[in-house]
């Protein structure tokens, strides 16, 4: 027993050390490869690798080596996992992840160790707010952004009284917060904020409540399985054609196949969509389809842009990850040529980007306009 | 050498090995062993309940998480808190919850007890999960590492890996010795009696409920210590710390190490962490490493199936025999 | 001096629709062995369980040393001097004989909060365990593991553990069950020696033994007392003869 | 809240409670009769939902009957699966202590989740309700109640009545009742206990899977869906009393009501209310509302 434990200890602690010693650029991909978000992690990695392939497998002249780690979307293990990449595998860059709680833990580790971190999805406001740091970047969005954009849209479309509904969790609260901020600034009123525990999906009582309140519109933030069910329940409760449903883009992203007819015509806001008139998007989609035999989604774009941001920063620093100030300066100064359209990185290291208004048509989230151009997250509490 | 002398020698050798490890362990190694030691303390708390008192608690994560949250929430926004009052505060929180949870769940037995403890820990989970107090689902940061000092003079900087490592090691040794003393004391013997045959203990005149409740609260306190250390180590807490897979994991640890003695909990905590890492090694399992849960699951099933008399031997079975006492009264002689 | 130690009054216990005990009254006196006999299923064990507080009576009352203890829990009754043994051996097999006795004795001097002092260093409980082990004839076996004892020795240990709690009343559930002739003799001698200073309720199947040792006998049939009195009176009771002893007596 | 809204909320509570009952009844039977704590029960619910998703295309050409064909095929598969599972993994667990049962079934959860991931992927899938059930009944100007939810409630009520009839009227039911209060007694009745257990277990799996299949169109199918149901079903079983079908029904309806109205009136505390209810019941009656004695 004891001997086998010691053998295991050697295997676990020493195995990964074998591949050390070259000047390769080590990129630690800490993404969900199992569980609910596995598909998202997969898309992010594919996007990242696509950009790398376009660059001939090198960033700033250095060959790239990946160290992959499944974060299981489990925040309880997140600090350990991030530490493993930083301290055991000595990665030069951390890339990850999808789950906000895990990303929060990663940000803490990155901040403590000074490791460069690029977040390719998780929208936790705190990461580019109070937790912001010179070496922490995001290639996706903050939860606040799509909500804020939709608040303006809802007000413009004449809604006065709105009910919001979301899971009682940080991402939902932040999204609703963004919506409320712009909507009430434009003179509207959020008459009731409904919520239910994450990831509970028994929406029926809340839908009954909505029907009783009779608001002008409903704003919602759900994702994944909850998004599918909410849209279906909303239609089944007979509300779809009577009270417009507005949502942050995730309610119809990657879920349209499951939602079917019930999602048709829904309006959502996000920084990406289908039918964008952006040349870069067309080449990106073609390349992605050729490489992987599937259409890319917003997560693939975020992975792709994470790689781009890394390249911009490292090129400016001559491939030296320790020159954090130069990396940050270059990334903040850059105009990033993304499939979502050109965007920049704000002072708090969150993208400043156009938020698109999209409508569900068939199996597409068709872009029908820009809801808010060049929207920047306020980065409240960020001191850099 | 007597068996007792050998046990003490092994204990001292293990503690020494752990004390010397940072010299060779490297940054990650120190981190990893720190984590395993925290979990060893956590596993010891459950061993006290499951192995010594015969109470199969499936909600141990609640104490761990509550203390971790209390550590973060009690730290002032403006600066570091002193360990001298932060640790008691964290332990107080987990101990109080253990008192509440134990008072209710010890009224039940067997399968019921397992389910009730699980449900109560889920309740704690949902409180952290659904209220903005602790940052909701995203969790919350510990902004300042607690300060350990005497009369204003700092003793150890717990924010640095090495000092923290030794702090955790000292705690582990202290808990081990403390629990060892408890088990040898009259209280420990009474617990053992209750585990083996509660009915007989009642017939002898032991009110078993307060004994079990005391064990439950004590276990909650020790788990709380582990939670406090975890919060300080990571500087970040999240509701998932109270999730039921954390309870399941720690249960797995003590079983892997062997139930019925304290060293089993420590060995199990180390072995389980290593095993988990092993199943995740890309270099061994390649692409299949991402389905490492399957490996763990099959290992567990094989483990149960391969040991017909139970990993715990007959001890726990007898512990639950008293649960069917009522039924036997029916059956025996109506 | 009033020698009444334990009294059960009109005790009834129902399981759903089944009446296990039907208004049973019984009185145990110090210095007497009171045997309880009856066929299987007559309610003997239920009566012992109700008296000791292990199960609640549906109705009726229990008095211990003149105090109404009907609402008391079993541990409380035990601490007040009501000891019992079980039909099946309920010793702690991994413990030594000494530990078994010590654990029972500990019920008297609990003080569980003294966590720093090892149980093995506790003098009062040690003294008690040595005494009771010697008294039941296990003085030589103090450090043997209880699981390794012979059947008869286990039953003796069972009695020793009862004694360790310093009871005034002993409820003994079939202490002779499964014993060989020689072992039975030893146990009967032991029980006879315990008569002094204790009130003993002896549930037993072995009729020869019962009629030899008992001062008083109560006969249960279908949960009710059909006869109670001296061995002679019970033996001569026609109801008992037909219901229980058959033509044998 | 006006009366109409209140009534609709009651309907919501009823429907949710009935669905919970379906899952919890299997769980309580397996607990009560076989004395096995089965953490993997939620996995059977998930299995059912995924079967509804995977089998539907096979019966699509049957039109309106296709839905029932899917249900029937799913139940048959679930019974076979449960029977084999009992034989392979559970038959030797009865003699083991609870700790080992917890372990084994915890291991099974991990295995089931990974197998699901390997076989079906990690995507969220929707399952269409049959066309003739997919409408809504308009109530007042804005409200409408989905027909499919009424259908679920109807099926659950029928099943509950069926279960009640089986348990109170048949020989099998008598054995189940006897087993729940006293396991050893059943074997003394001259029953082949192994066979009884195997049938019971298969029935429990089928009930959970059926619940999963029925729920699939309203809940969609997604990874980890089983574990969520499992814990709430534990609460139901604890409140109702282990082994009691009546208790499971009462407790499920109670939990459904507390959850539904909790969400509306105390959204901040909705997640905790059910557990508070459990704590209160435990205080009052440690053995649950309908302790099987």
What tens digit of pLDDT does each residue of D16-51 get? 999 999 999 888 888 877 778 888 899 999 999 999
Which of B196, B199, B204 is closest, CB to CB, to C107? B204
Residue B199 and residue C76: Cβ atoms within 8 Å? Answer: no
Q: What is the nearest CA distance from B132 to chain A, expressed in angstroms?
A: 8
D70 within a domain of the structure (yes/no): yes
Phi/psi-derived region of residue A135, left when phi > 0, alpha when psi is between -120 and 50, beta in every other case:
alpha
How would you class C34 by CB atoms within 10 Å of its CB: exposed for 0-12, middle for 13-18, buried for 19 or more?
A: buried
How would you class C94 by CB atoms within 10 Å of its CB: exposed for 0-12, middle for 13-18, buried for 19 or more?
A: middle
B329 within a domain of the structure (yes/no): no
Closest CA to B42 of B267, B169, B184, B219: B219
D232 within a domain of the structure (yes/no): no
Looking at the structure, tell me whether residues A233 and A369 fall in a common domain: yes
Q: Domain of residue D208: give its range.
A: 21-225
Average pLDDT over residues D280-289: 83
Closest CA to C89 of C181, C194, C159: C159
Quote the CA–CA distance of A325 and B262 in Å, as a whole number: 51
D271 within a domain of the structure (yes/no): no
Q: How many CB atoms lie within 10 A of CB C117?
A: 13
| Pair D56, D128: CB distance under 8 Å | yes
Quote the CA–CA distance of C22 and C25 in Å, as a whole number: 9
Average pLDDT over residues D209-233: 85
Looking at the structure, tell me whether residues A16 and A127 fall in a common domain: yes
Average pLDDT over residues D192-196: 78
Closest CA to B257 of B37, B47, B29, B41: B47
Q: What is the nearest CA distance from C217 to chain B, expressed in angstroms?
A: 20
Looking at the structure, tell me whether residues A326 and A252 fall in a common domain: no
Q: Which residues of B touch D182 (CB under 8 A)?
A: 327, 330-331
Question: pLDDT at position A6, please?
Answer: 65
What tens digit of pLDDT does each residue of B209-265 get? 999 999 999 999 999 999 999 999 988 898 889 988 899 889 888 888 888 889 889
Q: Identify which has the larger pLDDT, B105 or B77.
A: B105
Q: Which two tokens stand for residue D83?
A: 């029977």
Q: Is B26 helix (H, G, I), strand (E, B) or coil?
A: helix
Residue A198 and residue B289: Cβ atoms within 8 Å? Answer: no
Q: How many CB atoms lie within 10 A of CB D159?
A: 18
Closest CA to B32 of A147, C154, A79: A79
> At B163, which CATH number?
1.10.3470
Partners of A56 in the β-ladder:
none
Q: What is the nearest CA distance from D184 to chain A, expressed in angstroms?
A: 39
Q: Which two tokens stand for residue B37?
A: 């030691």
Question: pLDDT at position D187, please?
Answer: 64
Tens of pLDDT along chain C (249 residues)? 468 899 999 999 887 677 888 899 999 999 999 999 888 778 888 899 999 999 888 899 999 988 999 999 999 999 999 999 887 777 888 888 998 998 898 888 777 777 777 877 778 888 899 999 998 888 888 889 888 888 888 888 999 999 998 899 999 988 888 888 888 888 899 999 898 889 999 998 888 888 889 999 999 888 888 888 898 888 888 888 777 655 443
Write down the H helix ranges in chain A: 2-14, 38-54, 75-83, 100-113, 144-156, 170-185, 204-213, 224-236, 256-259, 279-292, 298-316, 324-333
> At A245, which CATH number?
3.40.50.2300
A350 within a domain of the structure (yes/no): no
B302 within a domain of the structure (yes/no): yes
User: If you count DSSP H runs as helices and E runs as strands, how many of each does chain C have, helices first?
Assistant: 9, 10
Residue B136 and residue A12: Cβ atoms within 8 Å? Answer: no
Quote the CA–CA distance of A375 and A367 in Å, as a whole number: 17
Q: Which residues of A touch D223 (CB under 8 A)?
A: 35-36
Query: How many domains would you assign to chain A?
Result: 2
Question: pLDDT at position D182, please?
Answer: 64
Tens of pLDDT along chain A (384 residues)? 555 666 666 666 655 444 444 478 999 999 988 777 888 899 999 999 999 999 998 898 899 999 988 888 888 788 889 988 998 889 999 998 998 889 989 999 999 889 999 999 998 998 998 889 999 999 999 999 999 999 999 999 999 999 999 987 788 889 999 999 999 999 999 999 998 877 677 788 889 889 888 999 999 998 877 888 899 889 888 888 889 999 998 899 888 887 888 899 999 999 999 999 899 999 999 999 999 998 899 999 999 999 999 999 999 998 888 899 999 999 999 999 999 999 999 999 999 999 999 999 988 999 999 999 999 999 888 887
What tens digit of pLDDT does each residue of A85-99 get? 998 889 999 998 998
Closest CA to A377 of A331, A335, A346: A346
Closest CA to B324 of B58, B112, B114: B112
A320 within a domain of the structure (yes/no): yes
Query: How many domains would you assign to chain D?
Result: 1
Residue A211 and residue D143: Cβ atoms within 8 Å? Answer: yes
- Nearest 5 degrees, angle CA D126-CA D129-CA D131? 130
Question: pLDDT at position B311, please?
Answer: 43
Long-range contacts, D170-176 (Cβ 8 Å, 24+):
D172/D196, D172/D199, D176/D29, D176/D32, D176/D33, D176/D200
Q: Domain of residue A283: give its range.
A: 2-141+278-345
pLDDT at B318 over 60: no
Question: Which residue of chain A comes nearest to B134, CA vs CA?
Answer: A170
CA atoms within 13 A on the CB side of D113: 29
Query: Which pTM value belongs to this model?
Result: 0.84
Per the listing, tokens 């990893």 go with B32
Q: What is the nearest CA distance from A228 to chain D, expressed in angstroms?
A: 7
* Percent of chain B whose pLDDT exceeds 90: 38
Which of B193, B204, B329 is closest, CB to CB, to C165? B204
Residue B141 and residue A104: Cβ atoms within 8 Å? Answer: yes
Question: pLDDT at position B107, please?
Answer: 86
DSSP state at residue A275: S
Subunits close to D (at least 3 CB pairs below 8 A): A, B
B96 within a domain of the structure (yes/no): yes
Q: Which residues of D touch A236 (CB under 8 A)?
A: 134, 136, 144, 146, 148-149, 218
How far are the Cα atoms of C85, C132, D154 from residue C196, in angstroms, in the given order? 18, 15, 72
Question: pLDDT at position C91, please?
Answer: 81
Question: Which residue of chain A comes nearest to B232, CA vs CA?
Answer: A79
What tens digit of pLDDT does each residue of B157-187 get? 888 888 999 999 999 999 999 999 999 898 9
Query: How many domains would you assign to chain B?
Result: 1
Q: What is the nearest CA distance from D204 to chain B, expressed in angstroms?
A: 17
Q: Which two tokens stand for residue B1?
A: 């050498």
Show the beta-strand stretches assigned E in chain B. Answer: 140-141, 148-150, 153-156, 236-237
Quote the CA–CA distance of C233 and C231 in Å, as a whole number: 6
Q: Domain of residue B30: give its range.
A: 21-321
pLDDT at D238 over 80: yes
What tens digit of pLDDT does each residue of D138-159 get? 776 667 788 888 899 999 999 9
Show the beta-strand stretches assigned E in chain D. Answer: 136-139, 143-146
Q: Which two tokens stand for residue B171?
A: 């705690």
Domains of chain C and CATH, by start: 1-81+170-176+199-249 (3.40.50.300), 89-166 (no CATH)
What tens digit of pLDDT does each residue of A160-196 get? 999 999 987 788 889 999 999 999 999 999 999 998 8
What tens digit of pLDDT does each residue of B19-63 get? 988 888 888 889 889 999 999 999 999 999 998 898 999 999 999
How far are the Cα atoms of A318, D246, D250 from residue A62, in angstroms, in the given order? 10, 69, 66
Question: pLDDT at position A44, please?
Answer: 94
ipTM over 0.85? The verdict is no
Residue A236 and residue D134: Cβ atoms within 8 Å? Answer: yes
């Amino acid at each position: 027993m004891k001997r086998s434990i010691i053998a295991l200890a050697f295997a676990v602690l020493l195995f990964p050390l074998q591949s050390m010693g070259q000047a390769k650029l080590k990129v630690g991909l800490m993404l969900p490869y199992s569980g609910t978000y596995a598909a998202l992690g997969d898309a992010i990695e594919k996007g990242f690798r696509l950009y790398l392939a376009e660059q001939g497998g090198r960033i700033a002249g250095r060959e790239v080596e990946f160290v992959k780690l499944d974060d299981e979307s489990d925040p309880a293990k997140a600090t350990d996992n991030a530490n493993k990449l930083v301290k055991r595998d000595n990665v030069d860059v951390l890339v990850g992840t999808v789950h906000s709680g895990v990303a929060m833990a990663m940000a803490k580790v990155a901040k403590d160790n000074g490791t460069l971190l690029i977040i390719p999805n998780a929208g936790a406001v705190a990461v580019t707010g109070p937790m912001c740091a010179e070496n922490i970047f995001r290639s996706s969005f903050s939860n606040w952004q799509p909500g804020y954009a939709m608040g303006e849209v809802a007000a413009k479309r004449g809604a006065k009284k709105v009910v919001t509904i979301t899971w009682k969790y940080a991402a939902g609260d932040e999204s609703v917060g963004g919506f409320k901020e712009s909507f009430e600034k434009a003179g509207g009123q959020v008459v009731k904020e409904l919520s239910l525990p994450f990831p509970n999906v028994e929406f029926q009582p809340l839908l009954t409540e909505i029907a009783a309140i009779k608001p002008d519109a409903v704003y919602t933030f759900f994702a994944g399985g909850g998004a599918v069910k909410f849209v279906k329940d909303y239609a089944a409760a007979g509300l779809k054609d009577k009270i417009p449903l507005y949502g942050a883009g995730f309610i119809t992203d990657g879920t349209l196949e499951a939602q079917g007819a019930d999602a048709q015509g829904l309006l959502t806001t996000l920084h990406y969509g289908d039918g964008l008139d952006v040349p870069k998007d067309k080449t990106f989609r073609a390349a992605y389809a050729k490489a992987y035999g599937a259409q890319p989604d917003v997560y693939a774009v975020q992975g792709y842009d994470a790689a781009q941001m890394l390249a911009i920063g490292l090129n400016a620093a001559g491939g030296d990850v320790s020159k954090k100030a130069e990396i940050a300066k270059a990334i903040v100064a850059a105009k990033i040529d993304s499939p979502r359209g050109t965007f920049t990185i704000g002072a708090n290291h969150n993208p400043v980007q156009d938020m698109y208004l999209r409508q569900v048509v068939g199996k597409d989230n068709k872009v029908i306009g820009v809801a808010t151009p060049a929207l920047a997250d306020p980065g409240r509490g960020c001191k850099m | 050498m007597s068996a007792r002398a050998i046990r003490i020698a092994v204990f001292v050798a293990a503690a020494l090995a752990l004390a010397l490890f940072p010299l060779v362990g490297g940054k990650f190694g120190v981190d990893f062993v720190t984590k395993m030691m925290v979990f060893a303390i956590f596993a010891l708390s459950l061993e006290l309940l499951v192995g010594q008192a015969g109470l199969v608690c499936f909600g141990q994560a609640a104490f761990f998480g509550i203390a971790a949250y209390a550590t973060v929430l009690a730290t002032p926004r403006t600066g570091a808190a002193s360990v001298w009052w932060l640790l008691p505060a964290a332990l107080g929180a987990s101990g109080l919850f253990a008192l509440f949870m134990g008072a209710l769940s010890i009224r039940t037995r067997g399968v019921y007890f397992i389910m009730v403890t699980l449900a109560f820990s889920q309740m704690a989970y949902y409180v952290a999960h659904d209220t903005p107090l602790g940052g909701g689902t995203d969790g919350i940061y510990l902004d300042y590492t607690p300060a350990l000092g005497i009369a204003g003079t700092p003793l150890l900087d717990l924010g640095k890996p090495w000092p923290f490592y030794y702090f955790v090691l000292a705690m582990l040794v202290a808990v081990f010795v403390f629990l060892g003393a408890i088990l040898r004391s009259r209280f420990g013997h009474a617990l053992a009696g209750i585990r083996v045959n509660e009915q007989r203990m009642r017939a002898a005149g032991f009110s078993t409920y307060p004994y079990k409740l005391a064990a439950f609260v004590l276990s909650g306190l020790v788990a709380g210590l582990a939670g406090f250390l975890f919060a300080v180590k990571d500087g970040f807490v999240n509701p998932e710390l109270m999730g039921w897979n954390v309870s399941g994991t720690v249960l797995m640890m003590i079983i892997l190490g062997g139930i019925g003695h304290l060293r089993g909990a420590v060995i199990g905590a180390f072995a389980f962490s290593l095993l988990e890492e092993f199943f995740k090694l890309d270099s061994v399992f390649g692409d299949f490493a991402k389905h490492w849960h399957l490996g763990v699951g099959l290992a567990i099933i094989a483990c149960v199936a391969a040991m017909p008399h139970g990993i715990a031997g007959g001890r726990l079975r007898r512990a639950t025999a008293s649960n069917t006492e009522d039924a036997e009264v029916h059956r025996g002689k109506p | 001096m009033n020698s009444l130690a334990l009294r059960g009054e009109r005790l009834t216990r129902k399981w759903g629709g089944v009446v296990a005990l039907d208004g049973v009254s019984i009185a145990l006196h110090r210095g007497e062995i009171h045997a309880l006999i009856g066929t299987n299923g007559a309610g003997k064990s239920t009566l012992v369980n109700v008296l000791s507080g292990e199960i609640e009576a549906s109705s009726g009352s229990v008095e211990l040393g003149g105090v109404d203890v009907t609402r008391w829990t079993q541990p409380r009754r035990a601490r007040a001097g009501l000891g019992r043994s079980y039909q099946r051996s309920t010793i702690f097999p991994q413990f030594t004989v000494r530990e078994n006795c010590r654990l029972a004795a500990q019920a008297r001097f609990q003080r569980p909060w003294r966590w720093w002092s090892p149980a093995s260093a506790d003098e009062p409980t040690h003294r008690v365990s040595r005494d009771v082990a010697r008294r039941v004839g296990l003085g030589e076996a103090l450090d043997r593991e209880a699981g390794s004892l012979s059947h008869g020795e286990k039953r003796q240990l069972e009695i020793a553990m009862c004694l360790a709690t310093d009871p005034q009343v002993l409820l003994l559930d079939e202490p002779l069950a499964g014993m060989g002739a020689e072992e039975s003799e030893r146990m009967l001698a032991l029980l006879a020696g315990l008569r002094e200073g204790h009130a003993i309720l002896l549930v037993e199947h072995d009729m020869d033994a019962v009629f030899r040792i008992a001062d008083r006998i109560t006969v249960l049939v279908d949960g009710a007392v059909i006869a109670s009195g001296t061995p002679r009176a019970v033996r001569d009771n026609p109801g008992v003869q037909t219901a229980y002893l058959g033509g044998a007596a | 809240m006006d009366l109409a809204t209140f009534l609709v909320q009651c309907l919501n509570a009823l429907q949710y409670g009935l669905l919970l009952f379906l899952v919890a009844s299997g769980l309580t039977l397996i607990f009560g009769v076989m004395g096995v704590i089965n953490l993997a029960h939620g996995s059977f619910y998930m299995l059912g939902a995924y079967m509804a998703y995977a089998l539907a295309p096979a019966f699509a050409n049957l039109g309106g009957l296709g839905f029932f064909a899917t249900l029937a095929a799913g139940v048959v598969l679930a019974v076979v699966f449960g029977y084999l599972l009992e034989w392979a993994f559970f038959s030797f667990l009865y003699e083991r202590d609870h700790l080992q049962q917890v372990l084994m079934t915890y291991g099974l959860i991990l295995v089931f989740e990974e197998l699901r991931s390997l076989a079906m992927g990690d995507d969220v899938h929707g399952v269409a309700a049959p066309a003739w059930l997919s409408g809504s009944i308009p109530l007042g100007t804005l409200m409408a109640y989905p027909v499919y939810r009424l259908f679920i409630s109807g099926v659950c009520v029928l099943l509950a009545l069926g279960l009640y009839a089986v348990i109170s009227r048949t020989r099998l039911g008598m054995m189940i009742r006897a087993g729940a209060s006293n396991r050893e007694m059943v074997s003394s009745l001259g029953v082949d206990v192994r066979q009884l257990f195997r049938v019971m277990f298969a029935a429990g799996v089928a009930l959970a899977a059926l619940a999963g299949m029925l729920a699939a169109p309203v809940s969609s199918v997604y990874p980890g869906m089983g574990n969520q149901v499992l814990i709430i079903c534990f609460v139901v079983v604890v409140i109702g009393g282990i082994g009691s079908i009546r208790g499971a029904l009462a407790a499920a309806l109670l939990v459904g009501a507390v959850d539904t109205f909790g969400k509306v009136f105390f959204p901040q505390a909705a997640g905790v209310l059910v557990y508070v209810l459990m704590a209160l019941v435990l205080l009052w009656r440690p053995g649950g509302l309908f302790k099987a004695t």
